[in-house]
A and B are shown apart, each in its own frame.
Chain A
Amino acid sequence: MSQSRRIAIAAAIIVTLQIVLALAAPLIAPYDPLAQDIVARLKGPSLAHWLGTDHLGRDILARILYGYRTALIACGIAVGIALIVGGGLGLLAAFYRGWCERIVMRMMDILFAFPVMLLAIGIIAMLGPRTESAAIAIAVVYVPIFARLIRGPALVLVESDFVAGIRSIGASDLRIMLRHILPNLASVILVQTSLLLSAAILVEASLSFLGLGTQPPTPSLGLMLAEGRNFVLLSPWNAIFAGLGILFLSLGFNLLGDALRDELDPRLRGRS
């Protein structure tokens, strides 16, 4: 088995495991993530609390499991919206060319010109700090990225002989786009979705850390880090474990995307 395939399998296992943990959080979490126990606050890891407790005596492990849930749902929805809107725009631009392409890609250039966090913060300033606002902000920020990513390879396909052939037998535009071009973009989409999910998890955590995303007392990894920071010299565990949680979640998707790219792109095979 090649090295990249081994990394791909390992990454797929990490990602699946984390998704299962997030989904099963209500079943497997050792405590209620909101239950406070003031007597047992700011404790280090022990048998009762595997990862310790935070400043209100809440179980850190339970909060991380629920935090995974919050992060995965928010980022999954955000990247999904960005993929549909941005990918759709990129596909339309590549298919119709001309004015459609020029207008769409200009709009994407403009959105892309903003520093990511700044645009996200601006959107949240408008919508108010909430998990939903953070998800919308991430979606808007990623729309131009998907549009650019899809347009390039879609252009090649639109110009290709096989699309000309399908066109000549009278297939409708929509059918060509959805049935013939889109499936050929599956590997690009898969790789980029995984990589952007990895980045989105970091953006969501940053926004929550700044107090602009998920609001207390809902468990969120970025928020836990922010709360942990205030007590870091008394008990660093909340901050340390919440950060590790963000790291592993983001790392899993990044490794997966990277390994998928090596596996799916025949040009890279054997090169690295």
Chain B
Amino acid sequence: MLRHLFQRCLDLAIVLFGISVIVFMMIRLIPGDAVAIMLGANTEVTPERVAAMRSELGLDRPLLEQYLSWLGRALHGDFGTSIWTGRPVLQEVTAQIWPTLQLTVLALVIGAGLAVPLGCLMAHWRGGRADLVLRIGAIAGLTIPSFWLGIVMLITVASLAPSFASLGYVPFSEDPLGNLQRLLLPAIALALPILANLSRLVRTAMLDALSQDYIRTARAKGLSETAVLYRHALRNALIPFVTSVGIMTGYLLGGAIVVEQVFSIPGLGRLILGAIAERNYPLVQATILIVTVGFVLVNALVDLAYALIDPRLRTA
């Protein structure tokens, strides 16, 4: 177990290091002179201004030195100041991360929560007509662009119940009801593809589990069908499900950035798109770094919790 834990931590450290190198290199790999491009987006480009900004960003020093000082500051939560607003980058990111996070979590709860019963039903009706309809429905759900679904739901709700179709965002602490009312539609739109994906996964995992020997044993010793299904089959079927939920979270974060635009929610999407339009590269860099590292750490924790729960992994 300790060995396993140590290996996991080492893997995690390597991945985090790799992420930092990639994100660090982003600004350096921009074709042409990144500083001139950044300046050109907003003011007149003069050699003095370019040189001043270059030294301000530390781009005139050796690469390794740049990386080490950049990483050192990032580890202390200092991602520099936003070139245009002059506010600390970290402050800009944390100010706009909440709507995106809330949307992601809400969609995850809806999608993953419904996927388990739906997947079980599909496994139960396997081969039947209902199973076929649900399977095709699941594939369709997988390929419905959630930003389109968002627009369609918005049109429908706007014509049926105009008062419910409100755009934008209010913090939960200010107006809990208004907050949920605004986030419900985007969360449903975002949740559908993962619901489709995860319910198919639960179906396959259930079918897999039901064909195992221990299920035959459980039936043979006279357990009720409900006990066989839920105590034995489902518990094992949930193992691949939990692993996928981690991957889905990354997908949801990306999807949230797009769906936010449909519902005019001021989240990470608006922040990063604005930063790209202004060629505010350090802000783009910091946003990607913070979100990716957070995502990787959460996944690592889930992995760990999971290793503690699953006895087969505990002894491995």
Contacts and interface: CB of A to CB of B under 8 A. Distances in A.
Q: Say whether A associates with B.
A: yes
Interface of A: 3, 106-107, 109-111, 113-122, 124-127, 129, 198, 202, 205-206, 209-212, 225, 228-229, 232-233, 236, 239-240, 242-243, 246-247, 250-251, 254-255, 258, 271-272
B18 A206 contact: no
A200 to B, nearest CB: 12
A127 to B, nearest CB: 7
Interface centre among B22, B27, B139, B207 (most CB of A within 10 A): B139
14 contacts: A107-B18, A114-B19, A114-B288, A115-B292, A117-B253, A117-B257, A121-B288, A122-B288, A124-B276, A125-B276, A125-B284, A225-B145, A229-B151, A240-B152
Nearest to B200: A258
A212 B276 contact: yes
For the residues of A in contact with B, the DSSP-based class is: helix
B126 interface: yes
B152 A243 contact: yes
A247 B145 contact: yes
A23 B264 CA distance: 36
A113 B143 contact: no
Q: Which 4 A-B pairs have the closest CB atoms?
A: A117-B254, A243-B148, A110-B18, A115-B250
B254 A232 contact: no
A236 B157 CA distance: 13
B250 to A, nearest CB: 4
Contacts of B147: 206, 209, 225
A259 B83 CA distance: 51
Nearest to B255: A117
Contact of B261 (A106, A109, A210, A254): A210
Contacts of B19: 110, 113-114
B1 interface: no
Interface centre among B140, B142, B147 (most CB of A within 10 A): B147
Given A122-B23, A210-B261, A232 B255 contact: no
Contacts of B269: 210
A126 B143 contact: no
A246 B152 CA distance: 14
Nearest to B12: A113
Interface centre among B254, B285, B288 (most CB of A within 10 A): B254
A123 to B, nearest CB: 8
B227 interface: no
Interface of B: 11, 14-15, 18-19, 22-23, 26-27, 29-31, 126-127, 132, 139-140, 142-145, 147-149, 151-152, 154-155, 158, 207, 250-251, 253-255, 257-258, 261-262, 269, 272-273, 275-276, 281, 284-285, 288, 291-292, 295-296
A129 B279 CA distance: 11
Interface centre among B31, B144, B269 (most CB of A within 10 A): B144
Given A115-B251, A251-B139, A106 B18 contact: yes
A118 B291 contact: yes
A232 B158 CA distance: 11
B145 A206 contact: yes
B148 A113 contact: no
Given A206-B258, A255-B139, A232 B154 contact: yes
Nearest to B156: A236
Nearest to A109: B15
A120 B115 CA distance: 28
Nearest to A7: B136
B26 A122 contact: yes
B145 A3 contact: no
Given A113-B19, A209-B147, A239-B151, A118 B29 contact: no
Interface centre among B14, B145, B275, B281 (most CB of A within 10 A): B145
A120 B26 CA distance: 12
Nearest to B16: A113
Nearest to B273: A210
Interface centre among A3, A122, A242 (most CB of B within 10 A): A122
Contact of A116 (B11, B251, B281): B251
Contact of A258 (B139, B151, B207, B291): B139
A258 B258 CA distance: 26
Contacts of A115: 250-251, 253-254, 291-292, 295
Nearest to B145: A246
